[in-house]
Structures are given as C-alpha cells and as structure tokens.
Structure 1
C-alpha cells in the first residue's frame, strides 16, 4: 500500500518561436517601461551587456512564453512574464526562478521547470517542461 505522502508527477510542455528582429529596436533608454513589463532587472542587465542584445532578449521572451503555455494546464495556471526570471548559471545553461508573490510555498515546492533556449541568426526558440508533483 502507498503512503499518504507519495507524489506522482503531472507534466506539461510549452514551446515558442519568435523572430529576433522584433527585439532589435529595443533600447534601455527608449523602451525601459515596456521592457520592464517582460524582463527583470537582472535579465535586462545580462542581455544588454552582450554585444548584440536582441538574440538574448528574444530567447528569454520565448522561454517565458513557453513556460506560460506549459503552466496553462495546471490549477494555479495564472503566471505572467513578471513572475518568471531566466537565470544563467556558469556552464549549466539557463535556469528558471518563479518570483511571483501569488504562488504559495507549497505550490513552488511541488514544481520543477526545465527549459532549453536556442537561436539562429533570424529566430529564437525555447521549450519548457513543467513537472507538478501531486499527492496520490
């Protein structure tokens, strides 16, 4: 017989692809408010420290869109761009932090999010896998 605290994963996936040229027009000086609705200060600092910021912004936008799409099948499905931060760890690739205050500690302890981001000269793409550990 299974213990009461046994958990099984529910999972969902999301994907997004965008044209990098959409992000070439953005500058911190002219588009700060618009950028801050989508990206955290850390993300903006990271992307604008690059020689070409557009692929970085586009990739993170795709990752956030993919995560939002993956979350849409769960109970607490409301998540926005501002709730998600894409963090780079040395040689480990991108990692996701959920920073929205509306999520309970219990909910955050039950989710795992894995992402992959890639781009060509013209497009960026990301996929997201969200695991939600449910009680049996």
Structure 2
C-alpha cells in the first residue's frame, strides 16, 4: 500500500482555476464540465479539490508532475453520489503498473478555505508495492 496526502488553500489556487489556459493544461474536458455545473465560487472549490487529489496521487506514484506524469494523466471525476474517482492514463498509468498498483482510492474534504486530499494505492498482491519500489 502507498499513501499520498495534499493540502491546498482554495484562495491561493483561485487564479489557476479562473485562468482559461491553465485550466485547460491541468484539467480534462470532463473535469471542467463537472465543475461548470456549479456556481463560480463552488466551481473554484471543486477544481481546487480535484487539483489536490492529483497532487496526492502523484505522491502515491512517487513522482512529481513532469517526472513522467502530466496533469491530465490523472483525471478526477465525481461518481453519481459525488465520491471522487481517479482514472489514470499515459505516464501515470505506466508508473502505477510498474509499482504493481491495482487500484487507487481517494477522498477529499473541504474546510473553510482549505482542501485536503488523501490517496491510497492498492497493490495487486500484498508486498508488491514495496518490492517493486526497492528494485527500481
């Protein structure tokens, strides 16, 4: 098992969420479409949460962005009940496969101007993540 945590100020993230070019670099079309269903302030909060989940996921993968992972390689969408669900593609998927991760569980919470995300990578078999990490 691998764990990643991230904390983000919504106010500090707000300029990125409001900038068209940055939004299109960081978020997929589906992520932006889900956020646009909310009012302007809630949309920024939603994107901040998704950004935070992407950062926590990178920590699970043991890499930073542009170290084999692009922002849009990690997509965070809400299921019908609002639970965040991560889908990996590109470099993020390749790294997860190399680590032996069969799944990724995430959760996030908002409190005042802060967002916290936790991501947990689940191994295909017990010990896979640790053994593959040491051999890399």
Give TM class, smaller chain. 0.7 to 0.9
Q: Is 1:62 paired with 2:47?
A: no
User: Which fold has the larger relative contact order, with Cα–Cα distance below 8 Å and residues 6 or more apart in sequence?
Assistant: 1
5+ long unaligned stretches in structure 1: 1-10
Q: Give the secondary structure class of the aligned counterpart of 2:38.
A: coil
User: Residue deviations 1:52-79, cap 9 Å, x none?
Assistant: 2111011001100000011107xxx833
Aligned length: 119
Q: Give the secondary structure class of the aligned counterpart of 1:119.
A: strand
Q: Is 1:113 paired with 2:101?
A: no
5+ long unaligned stretches in structure 2: 132-136
TM-score of the two chains, using structure 2 as the length reference: 0.74
Query: Residues 40-119 of structure 1: matches in 2 within 5 Å?
Result: 40-51=28-39, 52=41, 53-72=43-62, 78-91=68-81, 93-100=83-90, 103=93, 107=97, 110-119=101-110
The structure in which a higher percent of residues are helix is 2
Q: Give the secondary structure class of the aligned counterpart of 2:109.
A: strand
